[in-house]
Chains A and B, each alone.
Chain A
Amino acid sequence: MVSPLFELRHVSLAFGGLKAVDRVDLALPAGGLHGLIGPNGAGKTTVFNLITGIYRPDEGDLRLAGRRLNGLSPHRIAHAGIARTFQNIRIFAQLTVLDNVRVGCHVRARHTMAQAILRTAGHIAGERLIQADARALLDTFGLADHAQELAGSLPHGQQRRLEIARALATHPTLLLLDEPAAGMNPTEKAALKALIRRIRDHYQLAILLIEHDMSLVMDLCEQITVLDYGQVIARGTPPEVQNNPKVIEAYLGEPIPGASANPRAEGATRGNTKNAGTAGTAETRPEDHPGPEGGQG
């Protein structure tokens, strides 16, 4: 196998006694579209938080293009080329839609703060560059008409798309999408599916996708990794995963001998505590609100 763009090797993280992520291995080729699925509380979001430096792994290695990322702070990981969206939307509500995307462009700014205060030619060129890139992204995402609106006033579906646009503005080589379809209606989901494909092909990046909507994952992803209780219980192509008895057991909570049902039918929820399609949007999860000690290592 060619050496992967991004790799998790034996990564673990425990919250007190709870092993949220347990010796997870994961490899993504450049340009790959990889799914990360599992029941609620399986540790998917925690994997994202580990990758983006919000948490440091207890053990294991994170590598992007051969470079070790362990212990880098979140903004350095963004500089290294990893961008993400959040399960609970985290747009900059009081900034305009355009400014949200322009913040994403900040990592690539070459002009200095002194130049910005003196308004030199370098500053003006830099800002025009940012403006052009941001506008182009808004066009791609169908948000150009809303450029000057406050991001917080957008409807839910557009906020999710804006989050993806903002992440792409950093020009990542790896994009992490945490339940991008959550809270979307079927039309929006279909549009999102096309959009994710287009992003991957057009920007030539690798995508790691967390999603509870199984039809979306199965249609989009080339490879899928299934987590349960922090451990990888299965990996492979969508059909392989779909027919894996361990996966079916994890999703249903009890073994079904010899069954090869499509997990999507079960709402992808252990214990049926909540609806899969809107999982995580209605509540505030602790993992998205790390305290001061968790936020900044």
Chain B
Amino acid sequence: MHPRDPRSSQFRPGLGGVVLHGAAPLLGIVALALVMDLLVAPLLPEAWYAKVLADIGINIVLAVSLNMVNGFTGQFSIGHAGFMAIGGYTAAAVVYYGSIALWGDAGFHGGYFSYCGLGHFNGPWFGGGDLLFVAACLIGGLVAAVVGVFVGLPSIRLRGDYLAIVTLGFGEIVRILIQQTPGVLPPESAATVPAPGRYLHLGGALGFTNHPFYTTIFWIWLAVGATVLVAWRLRNSTYGRAFLSIREDEIAAAAMGVPILLYKVMAFTFAAFFAGIAGGLFAHQLGSTLNPADLGFAKSFDILIMIVLGGLGSISGAILAAAGLTILPELLRNPPHVWPLLVPVVPIALALLLYRRRRLARGWGILAGGIVLLEIARDLAVAHGVQLSDYRMVFYALSLILVMILRPEGLLGTRELWELWPRKRKGGAGVRASS
């Protein structure tokens, strides 16, 4: 119907523009992964912190990807862990049985960037196992994406609560199916089972064990960078705006020519792909016994909470909430002093007051008060020998409730972190005119 616009050649960027917009961020992703792996991780005082850094990364991938469905297109999926499980088990099977086929054993065949052990590693930077691992994660993502198409299809007919029930059921079906699979074949006997069936020996309820570990900070944060970049680029393109328009008003979106059914299913497919990759990374963490019980609806809800808390549709909100909610339970194990947080918070509150940003200043003031209260509570508990870590899930739940009461639209709403500093706008943002 619409012919190519003659102006499009005049709008074409030069090589510099393409490199700057298209290629440079790819290098940025690699740089992020390298920095995390080579600079940040070694600085962490204990190996345990590195595990938290890894979990943060995986949770960011999960939250940002789920946000494509729930935040961008406004559907309500609560079965994200199902995709994670599909990707994770696919990747684990490919790595384990692939290793046996290639090298005759299920040991570690990677290089420096995949080495998860604690001791010093003297081997090559990259090994054949890395290739197998990366391919396995991508295959896991693709299988999850294909399943995502089929889970997304009901969204054509169902919306709201009904779709949520379908996705919840999907997640549980995946978990139960995996629990029915037979035990993992030991390397000696793997060859005795013919190929397609062999890959279904996934360990059942006992979990997938004895597979090699490849997931390092490097791979995780490479995936974080890639996921965030794709989500960001998608949203800031005509397709992303079309996704958002579905969230805003399906009927109007369709009347503007947005193929809403196709895009809804596409959102599911994208989200499933990245969740599958997160599953692959999760499966190959040091010491992982991949167990279906860990990938049930509790995990799905964890991810859902992250994006609701961060603000549906906000990419930076999903990142922040994923990081915060991963750290929080860990912090509560052994609550540290919180008063050092006052060092940045109080000056910010004062500065805001000085610049007459009253509303914002009040928020920061409440934050400072909360920190003081927390510090008092902590010191009292320590003085009386109360084990706060016993109550950490209570505190976790309480802080969630608090945020949802104070900011029902999530920390950032649909906006991004850097948009929070209010520009001078006429009328309150987000106030719907009566219509």
Contacts and interface: CB of A to CB of B under 8 A. Distances in A.
- Which one of B13, B252, B254, B431 has the highest number of Cβ atoms from chain A below 10 Å of its Cβ? B252
A166 B4 CA distance: 20
Contacts of B158: 292
B2 interface: yes
Given A83-B255, A92-B252, A281 B435 contact: yes
Interface string A135-177: 0000000000000111011111001000000110111000000
Given A124-B12, A125-B8, A296 B156 contact: yes
Interface in A69-123: 73-75, 78-81, 83-84, 86, 88-95, 99, 102-111, 113, 116-123
Contacts of A102: 238, 241
B17 to A, nearest CB: 6
Given A107-B2, A107-B256, A116-B237, A92 B432 contact: no
A120 B427 contact: no
Contact of B22 (A90, A95, A118, A152): A118
A290 B250 CA distance: 11
Nearest to B423: A148
Given A78-B254, A106-B242, A156 B433 contact: yes
A266 B157 CA distance: 44
Contacts of A86: 251-252, 255
Interface stretch (A33-41, A126-134, A210-218, A224-232): A126-134
A247 B260 CA distance: 40
B256 A78 contact: yes
Contacts of A154: 427, 433
A289 B159 CA distance: 14
B9 A93 contact: no
A254 to B, nearest CB: 34
Contacts of B313: 94
B216 interface: no
A97 B426 CA distance: 13
A295 interface: yes
Nearest to A98: B241
A105 B156 contact: no
Nearest to B248: A92
B257 interface: yes
B435 A116 contact: no
Contacts of B261: 296
A54 interface: yes
Contacts of A53: 254
B233 interface: yes
Contacts of A156: 433-435
A129 B22 CA distance: 18
A52 interface: yes
Chain A interface extent, by class: 35 or more
Contact of B237 (A88, A127, A153): A127
A118 B25 CA distance: 10
Contact of B8 (A91, A93, A119, A129): A129
B258 A106 contact: yes
A198 B177 CA distance: 63
A119 B18 contact: yes
Contacts of A111: 238
Interface string B19-51: 001100100000000000000000000000000
Interface string B251-279: 11111111111000010000000000000
Contact of B7 (A74, A121, A129, A292): A129
B161 interface: no
B360 to A, nearest CB: 18
B234 A116 contact: yes
Given A152-B433, A153-B429, A159-B435, A124 B11 contact: yes
Contacts of B25: 119
B252 A90 contact: yes
Given A113-B239, A118-B22, A129-B7, A81 B245 contact: no
Contacts of B7: 129, 132
21 contacts: A75-B260, A79-B1, A80-B1, A88-B435, A91-B249, A94-B247, A94-B414, A95-B245, A103-B241, A109-B238, A116-B234, A121-B13, A123-B237, A124-B12, A124-B21, A132-B11, A150-B430, A153-B428, A156-B435, A166-B256, A170-B257
Given A108-B2, A159-B433, 14 more contacts: A81-B1, A94-B248, A99-B244, A103-B242, A103-B258, A106-B256, A113-B266, A118-B22, A121-B17, A122-B12, A125-B12, A129-B7, A132-B7, A153-B426
Interface of A: 52-54, 73-75, 78-81, 83-84, 86, 88-95, 99, 102-111, 113, 116-130, 132, 148-150, 152-156, 159, 166-167, 169-171, 281, 288, 290, 292, 295-296
Interface of B: 1-2, 4-5, 7-9, 11-13, 17-18, 21-22, 25, 156-159, 230, 233-234, 237-242, 244-245, 247-261, 266, 313, 414, 423, 425-435
Nearest 9 A-B pairs (CB), nearest first?
Answer: A78-B257, A107-B257, A92-B248, A116-B237, A74-B254, A119-B22, A90-B252, A128-B11, A125-B11
